[in-house]
Amino acid sequence: MDLDQVRRDTPGVADVIHFNNAGMALPTQAVVDIQKDWLDREATLGGYEVFYGIPFQQGDRILTTMLEYGANYIAFLQVAKRTGAVIEVIAEDANGDIDIPALEQMVTSGPKKPALIALVHVPSNCGRVYDAAAVGRVARAHSIPYLLDACQSVGQMPVDVAAIGCDWATGTSRKFLRGPRGIGWLYASRSSQHTSIEPAQLDNSAATWTTRDTYEMSSTAKRYEVYEKNFAAMVPGVSLFDQQGTLCGIVAFAKAGTTADDAQQQLQQQGINTWVTPLTTTRLAFEAKGITEDQLRLSVHYYNTEEEVQRVVAAVAALKPSTAAKAGLSSAFWLLMGGAWSSRRASSQ
């Protein structure tokens, strides 16, 4: 890979250090050009089309994780309120991954078989990577519908939906795929139970108006389509949100003596793009860890350079206000950011 050419083809890298790739990666020039014509005309509702189409009933069980994204969890709560379905959180093992024996126990010992397993592959607020394939083996063994949120994993690492065994996977183009905003995607396996699901929203690309008073949904995944429409050790004073399990190019942390919003503003003034992940995005995980502060999130891509990593780590170490101790970098945080950057580069070669 020619990193110099990659950076020449990426508008913006000369002006900022972009470490918010988990929020939105910098698109290529080709994407920028196409985006001008299509941004307002293409969109998809992805996983919500699947989820809201499942005919949940009283007592149906939705299994999810401690790190489920806030928007997804609110959808679960809404369906639970409307239908009487119940939400159950799968336990984690000592390494921070899904506790597969505990999942097996949940599946086989409950009052009824789960109606859905919903897994976020890589959480938005930290760099954890769940073993989605292990969850898939359990789901397949017990014929449980399996919905994978792959927003943060596709484009950052290889994702083999066949090996994972999910019925559906969803994501967005604007993160590690480096596409424009306004475009999402949904994968539905050929063996998935999509023929029993009627999405909450239908139009003439998802269904056919067969008579004056009837319609027929597509027998394929087209029923989900909506037509076109408008670093692992620390800087002194830095507390990492996650240091266990399989990690990736996303790092979330808090800096003593300053808020995440303040830190983001200070770094922005130095031309460094970051993101704040509030407690409300993954409330279960925040509460389980006893964390009450929003976290600052850094996320690297293959077009970031080692020199940029060094500058960001130094800038984090120098964050004000003055109540935060001034100190040099410890090896921990440097290893985290350096390792995250190295993994991004290695996976792209």
pLDDT at residue 232 tops 70: no
| pTM of the predicted structure, to 2 decimals | 0.61
pLDDT at residue 2 tops 90: no
Q: What is the pLDDT of residue 44?
A: 37
Strand pairing class (168-172; 146-149): parallel
Q: What is the pLDDT of residue 230?
A: 34
The average pLDDT across 27-33 equals: 69
Q: What is the pLDDT of residue 186?
A: 82
Q: Give CA–CA dist 13/11, Å, rounded.
A: 6
Q: What is the pLDDT of residue 173?
A: 75
The average pLDDT across 53-77 equals: 90
Average pLDDT score over the chain: 79
Regarding predicted confidence, which is higher, 41 or 69? Answer: 69
Chain centre distance of CA 202: 26
The average pLDDT across 224-239 equals: 56
pLDDT at residue 285 tops 90: no
Regarding predicted confidence, which is higher, 234 or 222? Answer: 222
Q: What is the pLDDT of residue 101?
A: 97
Q: Give CA–CA dist 175/299, Å, rounded.
A: 10
DSSP 221: G
Among 94-108, 262-276, 324-338, the range with the most confident prediction by mean pLDDT is 94-108
Q: Provide the pLDDT confidence category of residue 190 given band limits of 50, 70 and 90.
A: confident
DSSP string, 139-162: HHHTT--EEEE-TTTBTTB---HH
Alpha-carbon Rg for the chain, nearest whole angstrom, is 21
Instruction: Count Cα atoms within 13 angstroms, Cβ side, for 278.
Output: 4
pLDDT at residue 289 tops 80: yes
Q: Give CA–CA dist 21/327, Å, rounded.
A: 28
Q: Provide the pLDDT confidence category of residue 92 given band limits of 50, 70 and 90.
A: very high
pLDDT at residue 254 tops 50: yes
Give tens-digit pLDDT for 233-242: 446 677 787 7
Q: Write down the residue that tokens 């407690």 correspond to.
A: 279
Q: What is the pLDDT of residue 15?
A: 67
Q: Give CA–CA dist 318/211, Å, rounded.
A: 68
Q: What is the pLDDT of residue 57?
A: 92
Strand pairing class (61-64; 116-120): parallel
C-alpha angle 334-338-339 in degrees, rounded to nearest 5: 115
Q: What sign results for the dihedral spanned by CA atoms 157, 161, 163, 168? A: positive
Q: Give CA–CA dist 186/223, Å, rounded.
A: 11
Q: Provide the pLDDT confidence category of residue 182 given band limits of 50, 70 and 90.
A: low
SS3 of residue 188 by DSSP:
strand
SS3 of residue 346 by DSSP:
helix
Give tens-digit pLDDT for 127-178: 788 999 999 999 999 999 999 999 888 888 889 999 999 999 988 877 777 7
Residue 51 tokens read as 């989820």
pLDDT at residue 195 tops 70: no
pLDDT at residue 108 tops 90: yes
